[in-house]
Amino acid sequence: MRGLVTKSTGSWYLVLGEDGTRVECRIKGKFRTKGIKTTNPIAVGDWVNYEQEPDQDSAVITELEPRKNYIIRRSVNLSKQTQIIGANLDQAMLVVTLASPPTSLGFIDRFLVTAEAYSIPAILVFNKLDLFSEEGLDVLADYMAIYEQIGYPCLAVSAQDGTHVDAIRSMLKDKITLVSGHSGVGKSTLINSIEPAAALRTGKISDWSDKGKHTTTFAEMIDLSFGGKLIDTPGIRELGIVDIEKNELSHFFPEMRERLNECRFHNCRHINEPGCVILEAVDHAEIESSRYESYLSIYHNQETRN
């Protein structure tokens, strides 16, 4: 039988069969992704084949279908362990908060680079709008302008009181959307607000560290009653880049990509080369300096390959 993986705990998987039944599955045999070592061989969003175990309620996954795409991360800086966050996605929504807990621009950029590397359209949702002071709203507007200018859709919402949540709904219809972000930014609260039937567990922010408490521990796919699916995921602290070469990194910054042919040298690294249009654009504030800093930070990190 063929089915879609809707929940993964690492040791068992919940699979929605094409006949509409849900069954708990275990894995047998080895599943590999293009030679990449992952801590989870099968992820939510994967299509699999499985066989019912005789005299039991459970089944065994026998085959993993090739993935259209996926979002992958290195769990700790420079570790070889990688984790597939979700597979076969139509788009990815990064939930961001400027405070409680803070999300850095560097983290946002790493997420966007990963999505670009697999050609997955990304949406930025700035949550907890109800907490913003006048000053905070100015910073929010600046942040949103950076990403809107590049072409990423940005929304400011409050999952708690429902402000602007309707605008998100219309972007989700009939699509499979991965929801990611730091712990405590309100991913599960937002999904509950979009689809109350989901009834996901949510958790308070720690008083002393201003960080989330990793309330969601497993990735899980939620059906949207108006069409489409959302994947709730555990909060991530860091997003280590996987499988990107230094010389292709600039292609994953859309505002750099559109200028690349104009550098004097075809193999320009955009670091200190004469006639580099990227450096020129940064100088003229046509490319945001925070974005360029993220480029340099990822470029110089050993996580990207020569």
Ligand X SMILES: Nc1nc2c(ncn2[C@@H]2O[C@H](COP(=O)(O)OP(=O)(O)OP(=O)(O)O)[C@@H](O)[C@H]2O)c(=O)[nH]1
- Contacts to ligand X by CB under 6 A: 127-128, 130-131, 158-160, 181, 183-189, 202-205, 212-216, 234-235
| CB closer to ligand X out of 38 and 127 | 127
Q: How many CB atoms lie within 10 A of CB 8?
A: 24
CB of 113 to Zn ion, least distance (A): 17
183's contact among Zn ion, ligand X, Mg ion, none, with CB below 5 to 8 A by partner kind, is: ligand X
CB of 277 to Zn ion, least distance (A): 6
- Cα separation, 133 vs 131, in Å, equals 7
Residue 276 binding Zn ion, by CB under 5 A? yes
106 by Cβ neighbours in 10 Å (0-12 / 13-18 / 19+) ranks as: middle
Give the contact letters, 227-266, x = binds to Zn ion (CB under 5 A), - = no.
Answer: ------------------------------------x---
Q: What share of the chain is helix, strand, coil (3-state, %, to 5)?
A: 30, 25, 50
Residue 84 binding Zn ion, by CB under 5 A? no
Residue 11 labeled ligand binder: no
Whether the CB-CB separation of 133 and 86 falls below 8 Å is answered with no
Contact with Mg ion (CB under 5 A): which of 40, 103, 188, 250? 188
211's contact among Zn ion, ligand X, Mg ion, none, with CB below 5 to 8 A by partner kind, is: none
Phi first, then psi, for residue 223 (nearest 5°) are -80, 135
Residue 287 binding Zn ion, by CB under 5 A? no
Separation in Å, CA 122 to CA 153, 201, 206, 305:
8, 25, 29, 24
Residue 127 labeled ligand binder: yes
**Strand (E) or helix (H) holding 291:** helix 289-300
Before 274, cis peptide (omega within 30)? no
Contact with Zn ion (CB under 5 A): which of 278, 281, 282, 287? 278
CB of 8 to ligand X, least distance (A): 15
Sign of the C-alpha dihedral computed for residues 131, 134, 138 and 139 taken in this order: negative
CB of 263 to Zn ion, least distance (A): 3
Residues that bind Zn ion (CB under 5 A): 263, 268, 270, 276, 278
Residues that bind Mg ion (CB under 5 A): 187-188, 215-216
